[in-house]
Amino acid sequence: MADKKMRSVAKTFSWRLIIFIYWVIFGYIYTGTFSGAGILGIGSIIPLLFYYFHERVWNKVKWGLD
């Protein structure tokens, strides 16, 4: 049973939102500035494309499914 494309997109964006929030908080604590936190936050958004395609590839892999 594979996810539909829109489900993969929703999972991708929800996961990346969680990571974005984490990096902004961590960046603010570490640097003490919102500009430093923003750079880390923006840098965390780029991998969402990689995650989306990773999800789509794994939906085609039958190994480990019942």
**What local confidence, expressed as pLDDT, does residue 51 receive?**
82
DSSP notation for 1-65 = ----HHHHHHHHHHHHHHHHHHHHHHHHHHHSSHHHHHHHHHHTTTTHHHHHHHHHHHHH--TT-
pTM above 0.75, yes or no: no
| 63: in domain | no
| 66: in domain | no
- Tally of domains in the chain: 1
**What local confidence, expressed as pLDDT, does residue 4 receive?**
80
| pLDDT, tens only, 30-45 | 888 888 788 877 777 7
- Higher-pLDDT residue of 65 and 32 is 32
| 65: in domain | no
Tell me the residue range of the domain where 15 lies: 5-57
| 62: in domain | no
